[in-house]
Amino acid sequence: MSHSSPRISVFWRVPVLVFVFVVSVAGVLPVAIAQSRGLPDFTDLVEQVGPSVVNIRTLEKVSTARGGMNGMDEETLEFFRRFGLPVPPGSGPRSDRNQPAQPEEQRPRGVGSGFILSSDGYVMTNAHVVDGADEVYVTLPDKREFKAKIIGSDKRTDVAVVKIEASGLPAVKVGDVNKLRVGEWVMAIGSPFGLENTVTAGIVSAKQRDTGDYLPLIQTDVAINPGNSGGPLINLRGEVVGINSQIYSRSGGYMGIAFAIPIDEAMRVSDQLRATGKVTRGRIGVQIDQVSKDVAEAIGLGKPEGALVRAVESGSPAEKAGVEAGDIILRLDGKAIEKVSDLPRMVGGLKPGARATVTVFRRGARKDLTVTIGEFASEQTAEAGPAEEPRVASTDALGLRVTDLTEAQKRDLKLKGGVRVEAAGNAAARAGLRAGDVILALANVEVGSVRQFEAVLAKLDQSRPVQVLFRRGEWAQYAVIRPQR
């Protein structure tokens, strides 16, 4: 093997020299050089940003287990320690039953990364890196180690801030996410598997990637593995544009897709954490869902956009503002709600007590409502995403039998009117309607009684699809009934 490497090196080097000579004769060498110069060189970036990236290790206090199924031998524990992997609680080495057990001891919980926000020792990382830790230690690139204090963490955005007692530290430069472009080169520095100061690079694969989390994330193909969490995503100007947070994986390891928290969102969170130790968010008190293409076309919206209001909390800011179940919220203070996940993020960014204009689409018309933003409880469930999906299906012919609501039913349901479905068959059943549903509007026209329902139905071309707004339990939703042709 010692003799094969030089041969391989010479074999590949000679054609390259010939190629350079040929293209230079052809007069296109400047193009080749320009392309070569266009490739990124990360060496200066590593020297510039590297001193600001830290390693974070956490410890937790666990009771010493004596024997049992969860015990690990010392060799297995050493494997976890060497690679910085979290040790499962209660998985300590099996001890001799004759020896007295220690009440508790510090065990390695895991490792992660972070970066210095300010010269006086504030460090940003992921909330999941420090979550559940009893002690946090920050190691600088110069090998100095400090015990850190958790200033605050926010699970919804996965952002945390810790503080070490040090001064004169090299802080990172914060970049502008709005200037980040898909295809742009980016670099990550972190501690994958506990290997400190590891540099990886790739490109921005997508922006505003909706993964179901509170924030739209930056997608990259930068190699990110356990231990990289909390480390910075850096552009070619040496600016931090994101916090490496998640990967898409079926195996637990990197598979070519990684996600980072946009730094502008993270800085807003960190500012609140540093000021108060917690994050305060606005809320309006609605349960929302996506608007399907079928529903958008049927109600005259044109394209699927906004957030469908499926329920309005009693006494909530939204109810006081006049928001109704079945409304589609299109804008907040003039900013478009392009997809359902935009609304919770935009509302959450407003301060409680602020007044905002909500533009809703209701029965074919747009309407502006003024809402006073409430405060989102820190442990409250997310404002978007009910468990059920809207039931919208292709159908054949109408098949509905409806009755008026009794006064008692109106009181119980907190409705002014509507008609109750006694039976749903054929197209109505296949569209998702069923007995017990309450129809609130037909073809964008509000119906408060069977008489009104029949009057609206009489004016419709029953050979064409018709949209129905109905309520089931606490949820309002749309269905499109498609008659048989």
Judgement on whether residues 114 and 246 belong to the same structural domain of the protein: yes
Phi/psi of residue 2, nearest 5 degrees: -70, -25
Return the biggest CA–CA distance within the chain: 95
pLDDT in tens, 285-297: 998 888 988 888 8
pLDDT tier, 115 (very low <50, low <70, confident <90, very high otherwise): very high
- Least trusted range by pLDDT, from 20-24, 91-95, 312-316: 20-24
Question: Which residue of the set 95, 118, 120, 128 is catalytic?
Answer: 128
Phi/psi of residue 345, nearest 5 degrees: -65, -45
Q: Does any domain span residue 36?
A: no
Q: Does any domain span residue 445?
A: yes
Q: Which two tokens stand for residue 170?
A: 């090299």
- In the numeric block, the tokens 């080169």 are attached to 185
Region of 203 (left: φ > 0; alpha: ψ -120 to 50; beta: rest) is: beta
Question: CB–CB of 233/260 below 8 Å?
Answer: yes
What residues pair up with 376 in beta bridges, in sequence order? 281
Q: Does any domain span residue 347?
A: yes
Annotation marks residue 229 as catalytic: yes
Judgement on whether residues 84 and 57 belong to the same structural domain of the protein: no
Annotation marks residue 396 as catalytic: no
Question: CB–CB of 415/405 below 8 Å?
Answer: yes
Judgement on whether residues 127 and 227 belong to the same structural domain of the protein: yes
Q: Which residue has the higher pLDDT, 139 or 4?
A: 139
Annotation marks residue 52 as catalytic: no
What pLDDT does residue 76 have? 55
Give the domain-ending residue among 247, 278, 309.
Answer: 278
pLDDT in tens, 127-166: 999 988 899 999 999 999 999 999 999 988 899 999 999 9
Judgement on whether residues 188 and 212 belong to the same structural domain of the protein: yes
pLDDT in tens, 160-216: 999 999 999 999 999 999 999 999 999 999 988 888 889 999 999 999 887 656 778
Give the domain-ending residue among 360, 376, 392.
Answer: 376
Q: What does DSSP say about strands 239-247 and 173-174: parallel, antiparallel, or unpaired? A: parallel
Q: Does any domain span residue 433?
A: yes
Question: CB–CB of 191/227 below 8 Å?
Answer: yes
Q: Which helix (H) or strand (E) holds 11?
A: helix 4-25
pLDDT tier, 459 (very low <50, low <70, confident <90, very high otherwise): confident
Q: Does any domain span residue 340?
A: yes
Judgement on whether residues 170 and 193 belong to the same structural domain of the protein: yes
Q: Does any domain span residue 298?
A: yes
Judgement on whether residues 362 and 238 belong to the same structural domain of the protein: no
Q: Is the pTM of this model over 0.85?
A: no
Residue 158 annotated in ligand binding:
yes
CA–CA separation, 317 and 95 (whole Å): 59
pLDDT in tens, 62-112: 655 444 444 455 445 554 544 445 555 555 544 444 555 555 666 777 789
Residue 227 annotated in ligand binding:
yes
- In the numeric block, the tokens 């996506």 are attached to 290
Q: Does any domain span residue 315?
A: yes
The domain that contains 50 carries what CATH number? Answer: 2.40.10.120
Question: Which residue of the set 153, 191, 229, 341 is catalytic?
Answer: 229
Judgement on whether residues 225 and 340 belong to the same structural domain of the protein: no
DSSP state of 390: P
Question: CB–CB of 278/152 below 8 Å?
Answer: yes
The domain of 321 spans 282-376
CA–CA separation, 169 and 117 (whole Å): 9
Residue 368 annotated in ligand binding:
no
CA–CA separation, 96 and 65 (whole Å): 10
Judgement on whether residues 57 and 69 belong to the same structural domain of the protein: no
DSSP state of 65: P
pLDDT in tens, 233-278: 999 999 999 999 887 665 556 678 889 999 999 999 999 999 999 8
Handedness of CA 109, 158, 388, 286 (dihedral sign): positive
Mean pLDDT along residues 336-363: 90
Give the domain-ending residue among 77, 99, 121.
Answer: 99
How many domains are there within the chain?
A: 4
Angle at 187 between CA 231 and CA 194, to 5 degrees: 40
The domain that contains 369 carries what CATH number? Answer: 2.30.42.10
CA–CA separation, 384 and 413 (whole Å): 22
* Complete DSSP assignment for 85-117: PPPPTT-PPP--TTSPPPS-EEEEEEEEEEEE-
Question: CB–CB of 441/449 below 8 Å?
Answer: no
Q: Does any domain span residue 389?
A: no
Judgement on whether residues 77 and 144 belong to the same structural domain of the protein: no
Residue 292 annotated in ligand binding:
no
Judgement on whether residues 79 and 130 belong to the same structural domain of the protein: no
Of the candidates 217, 189, 214, which has an alpha carbon nearest to the alpha carbon of residue 283? 214
What pLDDT does residue 249 have? 60
Judgement on whether residues 463 and 349 belong to the same structural domain of the protein: no
Question: CB–CB of 372/352 below 8 Å?
Answer: no
Judgement on whether residues 355 and 430 belong to the same structural domain of the protein: no
